[in-house]
Homo-oligomer: A and B are copies of this chain.
Amino acid sequence: MKTLIVYAHPEPRSLNGSLKDVAVSTLEAAGHEVRVSDLYAMNWKAVVDAADFGGYATSPLRVVPSSGGAYDAGALTPDVTAEQEKLLWADTVIFQFPLWWYTMPAILKGWVDRVFSFHFAYGVGVHDETRYGERYGEGILLGRRAILSVTVGGPQSHYTDRGINGPIGDLLFPIHHGILYYPGMEVLPPFVLYDAVRMSDGEFEDVTKRWKQRLLTLETTAPIAFRRQNSGDYEIPSLRLKEGLEAPGRGGFNLHVRD
């Protein structure tokens, strides 16, 4: 495997830093190639602005066409281009981050906002009567696998089906489906650690064991069975799921997972 780890935590000696280190050493010991995008260490620019698009920034600034124009011309900034190249190099991508306010930290969102540019991650492919571009199961990152490794401050019960924060699968759906599956990646079930602020050394040993097991089975773990957009399951161009396809009792985001 060629694995890219996108890692977002300000403290190398944190739980997140340790899990990143475990991933690097475990994968390398198993003979895999590993590259790390350590966003804090790279002083990653989190904010989209006109400077991202060089001479291709429209005035007034319209982000979508500026992004596409700069991408087409190879004129995106070197930091963004380097990340796009790493994504194309990798066959597996691990995202290691703490859940802050029920989603990713701003620095990682800014990595998505800037790296997933127009004509690279979206706005590609033909739109006709049977296809609505290449997305949700097709796209530039097709053939790659992604997994979120997430630390959570609160207890697991708060994130269950009836838990007050909402089910963890629903909270992560906009990342799993809307960000990673969108440009074609298959998404594995996440590795989630609860009660992360209260973890003892003994618990960390057990966690390490479980994380290694996930790392060494990345190639064989079944991905989440999201429906492919252009597979016939959706009306085009409304992109509403056709009637009768949903599993009984499955609503909301889960409509978009096959049985």
Chain A residues close to B by CB (< 8 Å): 10-14, 40, 44, 46-50, 60-64, 98, 100-107, 109-110, 112-113, 116, 136, 153, 155, 157-158, 160-167, 170-171, 173-174, 177-179, 197, 229, 234, 237-241, 249, 251-256
Bound form: Cα–Cα A60–B12 in Å: 8
Bound form: Cα–Cα A237–B63 in Å: 45
7 pairs of A and B residues whose beta carbons are closest in the complex: A106-B110, A102-B178, A13-B60, A157-B238, A252-B252, A11-B61, A102-B174
Bound form: Cα–Cα A240–B161 in Å: 8
Contact A163 B239 (CB under 8 A): yes
Can you give 18 contacting A-B residue pairs, CB < 8 Å? A11-B63, A46-B47, A46-B107, A46-B110, A63-B98, A101-B109, A101-B112, A101-B116, A103-B174, A106-B109, A157-B237, A158-B238, A160-B240, A162-B241, A164-B229, A164-B241, A166-B173, A171-B178
Given A48-B106, A178-B101, A238-B157, also A256-B14 (CB < 8 A): no
Which residues in B have their C-beta under 8 angstroms from that of A64? 153, 197
CB distance from A252 to the nearest CB of B (A): 4
Bound form: Cα–Cα A11–B60 in Å: 7
Which residues in B have their C-beta under 8 angstroms from that of A253? 166, 170, 252
Given A14-B60, A166-B178, A252-B252, also A107-B158 (CB < 8 A): no
Which residues in B have their C-beta under 8 angstroms from that of A161? 251
